Amino acid sequence: MTFSSLGLSKDLLDAVKVAGYEAPTSVQQQVIPLILRGQDVIAQAKTGTGKTASFALPVLQLVQASVSGPKKVIKALVLAPTRELAMQVEHAFKAYGRQLTRPLRTITLIGGLNIDLQIRNLHHGADIAVATPGRLLDLIKRRSVDLSMLNILIVDEADKMFDLGFAEELAAVLNALPPNRQNLLFSATMPEKVVVLAQKFMKAPVQVKEEEGAPTAELIYQRVIDVNRTNRGPLLRHLIQTEQWAQVLIFVASVRDADVLVVKLLKADIQANAFHGGLTQAQREHVLKEFKTGRLRVLVATDIAARGIDIKKLPCVINYDLPRSPNDYIHRIGRTARAGEKGVAVSFVGHEDQAHFRLIEKRCRVRLSRESIKGFELTGQPPPGTKGPAPVKGRRMSKKDKARALALKEGR
C-alpha cells in the first residue's frame, strides 16, 4: 500500500516524502482513512510503529480544510501525559505541516514553562494545541484559552490518561470541551476498561487493534538476567563496558534511585545523566536533547521516559528496577526497536522479582529464558514471603503509587 491511496492531500504526501517514509505502517493504513472520514477512533498499535503520523497527517488535513478566516482558533487539541511527549508531538505536527500551502500554527501548553508566555502566544492564535492536562486546566480556569471551536480531540497514551493519576484532570478537560467533536484515542496498550470508559464520551468509535499475539514489538530481543539485587550495579557496569551498545536507557523506580545510580556510573567513568520529574524543565529538556542527539551515552530515567518518547536508533533499554505493571513494561521496552530498527531490552530479575516478572510475561504473552552472567550469578535463597502473588495495580492506590502519581504530576 502507498500513502497516496489513503486520501491525503498533495501537501501532506509531500510531507511524507520529506520525512523519508516509503510506505504507511499498518496503523497508518488503517487509521488515516477513518480520521479523514470524521470517525471517532480507538487505536492500539505496537510501540514505535508510527502512531503520531497516523493522527497528525489526517488531522492537519482536516484542520486545514476547516480554517475559514484569518483569525486562528484552536481546532484540534492533543493531550499527552508528559511535557516531553507533548513537545515531541507538536514537533511532528510542525514538521508534517511545513509543506502546507496555507501554514497552520501549533502551540504547546505544558507545565514547567512560563504560563504568561504561553498566554501571550495564545493571543497570537493557534490552530492546533498540544497540551498536558494540568497546564491546560490552569489556562482554562484563567480563561486564557478558547476551545469553543474545537473539532478534534486526540488523547495520546490514552490508557495512561484514564489512569488514576490523570483521570480527574482528563474528566475536567473533557467537561470544558464542546460536545460535538471527533475523538481519537491512541496507545500501545488499551485495556478493555479504558475502551468501556472512553466509549461513554465517544460517538460510535471504530476500534483499530493489533492482530492477536504478544503486545511487545517483534523487533525487540528481550533478555532476562537473573542477578541479586545487590549485584545489579556491578552487572550494569559490566554490561555497559562489554556490550557494544552505542546508547543505553536505564529505567529505575524513583527519582532518588536515578540520581544514586548516575553517581555510581560516573564514579566508574561511565558518562551518564538522570532524567526525572525532580529536575527543572530546562534540565529535563537539556538532558533529553543530549540523549536524543547521541551526545550522551547512558540515560537513567524514571517512568516519565516510558511513554511515547522517540529516540532514533536507541539500541538498548535496561529495566534495572522492574516496572510496576506489565503495560509499563511494554511501553518502557518500546523505547527501542522503533521505525523498523532492532533493539535489545534487558531486565534484571532477583529473587524478590521472580513472581512479578512471571506476571509481566503472562500479560505480555511471552515466556523468556533466564540468563546468568559469569561472575554475577544469582546466589542465595528467595527471602521468605516473596512467593505470593505479584502486586497488581488495584482500584486503590498504594502509598508508593500515590507518591509516584504526585511526582509525575509535579514533573508534568
> Considering the rule CB under 6 A, would residue 50 count as an interface residue with ligand AMP?
yes
Contacting range for ligand AMP; rule: CB under 6 A; set: 44-52, 66-74, 217-225, 344-352: 44-52
Please state whether beta strands 152-155 and 76-79 pair in parallel, antiparallel, or not at all (unpaired): parallel
> Considering the rule CB under 6 A, would residue 51 count as an interface residue with ligand AMP?
yes
Question: Considering only residues 52, 61, 106, 216, which one is a binding residue for ligand AMP as defined by CB under 6 A?
Answer: 52
Maximum separation of any 2 CA atoms in the chain, in Å:
72
Work out how close the CB of 311 gets to ligand AMP at its nearest, in angstroms, rounded to a whole number.
9
d(CA 130, CA 86): 6
Work out how close the CB of 157 gets to ligand AMP at its nearest, in angstroms, rounded to a whole number.
11
Considering only residues 278 to 317 of the shown chain, the ones binding ligand AMP according to CB under 6 A are 310, 312
Residues 6+ apart with CB under 8 A from 247: 291, 294, 296, 297, 298, 299, 311, 314, 315, 316
Contacting range for ligand AMP; rule: CB under 6 A; set: 24-32, 169-177, 206-214, 363-371: 24-32
Count of residues of this chain found to bind ligand AMP when the rule CB under 6 A is applied: 14
> Considering the rule CB under 6 A, would residue 339 count as an interface residue with ligand AMP?
yes
By three-state DSSP, how is residue 268 classified? coil
Residues 6+ apart with CB under 8 A from 14: 99
Question: Considering only residues 30, 44, 49, 183, which one is a binding residue for ligand AMP as defined by CB under 6 A?
Answer: 49
> Considering the rule CB under 6 A, would residue 21 count as an interface residue with ligand AMP?
yes
Choice between 77 and 147, CB closer to ligand AMP: 77
Indicate left, alpha or beta for 255 from its phi (over 0: left) and psi (-120 to 50: alpha): alpha
Question: Which three cell numbers, joined as nine digits, stand for 126?
Answer: 493557534
d(CA 349, CA 355): 10
Work out how close the CB of 9 gets to ligand AMP at its nearest, in angstroms, rounded to a whole number.
17
Choice between 127 and 157, CB closer to ligand AMP: 157
d(CA 43, CA 161): 14
Question: Considering only residues 42, 53, 202, 333, which one is a binding residue for ligand AMP as defined by CB under 6 A?
Answer: 53
d(CA 210, CA 208): 7
Considering only residues 99 to 138 of the shown chain, the ones binding ligand AMP according to CB under 6 A are none
* Single-letter amino acid, residue 374: K
Work out how close the CB of 123 gets to ligand AMP at its nearest, in angstroms, rounded to a whole number.
31
Work out how close the CB of 334 gets to ligand AMP at its nearest, in angstroms, rounded to a whole number.
9
Q: How many alpha carbons fall within 13 Å on the CB side of residue 277?
A: 21
Which spans of this chain sit near ligand AMP (rule: CB under 6 A)? 21, 24-25, 28, 48-53, 310, 312, 338-339
